[in-house]
Amino acid sequence: MSSSDGLIVSPSLLAADFGRLADAAREAESGGAEYLHFDVMDGRFVPNISMGPSAVKALRTVSRAFFDVHLMIVEPEKYIEEFVRSGADGITVQIEACTHLQRTLSLIRSLGAQAGVALNPATIPEQLEYVMDDLDLILVMTVNPGFGGQKLLPATLPKIQRVRQMITDSGRPIHLEVDGGITHETAGATVRAGANVLVAGTSLYHYPQGFAAGIEALRNTAMSL
């Protein structure tokens, strides 16, 4: 399922009811979300622990969405193969957790998944200059990773613009994803800055009128310039 406006929404399961994750995955797909975002946290890279490959494997049986797996863990290279085997379609590693980033990105692609790299708010995008050929997605974190429900940091908006410019200059079809504090109020600014994949947790799974109304509000406001 692809959207007519070219914008991809990736609902973050972190904000869903963990006792009903299968329902949350189905809700995302029937709401027209092409991606499903898995936040993997290890209690070391970020001060929180969330889900692992078994959640990916279990939900693979109920969803055909693109499984967008965001690893907020140290030594991600140790777990990539298991996540791909469990059903991940794309794996995004945090640049701050990778000593040998190019090797890690190549490993992801060699397993048949799309390779992504995430940048914390304080990390400069120029660090990606020599790995642009190895990337399918760049994730600009719009909050410090670790928790859902935070507010978008405005200083990340010029960074989104800078990353969009780097992608254009590279001539490569790299997605630009944003994650953290994306709501119907903030999404428009990130899209205008150059984002084309929106991760949203709280603003969808806790939308007062329900998930379907939340995703519609997000798309509408994101596309109204």
Asked if residue 13 lies in contact with residue 51, where contact means CB atoms within 8 angstroms, the answer is: yes
Q: State the Cα–Cα distance between residues 190 and 161, nearest whole angstrom.
A: 9
Q: Which is nearer to Zn ion, 72 or 107 (CB)?
A: 72
Q: Is residue 177 part of the contact set for Zn ion (CB under 5 A)?
A: no
Q: Which is nearer to ligand DX5, 31 or 201 (CB)?
A: 201
In the range 82-141, which residues lie near ligand DX5 by CB under 6 A?
none
Given the rule CB under 6 A, which of 74-82, 91-99, 176-184, 185-193 is the region that contacts ligand DX5?
176-184
Q: Which of 146, 162, 170, 216 binds ligand DX5 (CB under 6 A)?
A: 146
Given the rule CB under 5 A, which of 27-35, 66-74, 169-177, 207-215 is the region that contacts Zn ion?
66-74
Q: Is residue 219 part of the contact set for ligand DX5 (CB under 6 A)?
A: no
> Which residue is listed with tokens 């200083």?
155
Give the 3-state secondary structure of 2-42: CCCCCCEEEEEHHHCCHHHHHHHHHHHHHCCCCEEEEEEEE
Q: Is residue 39 part of the contact set for Zn ion (CB under 5 A)?
A: yes
Q: Please give the residue ranges that form the binding site for ligand DX5 (CB under 6 A).
A: 12, 14-15, 37, 39, 70, 145-150, 179-182, 199-203
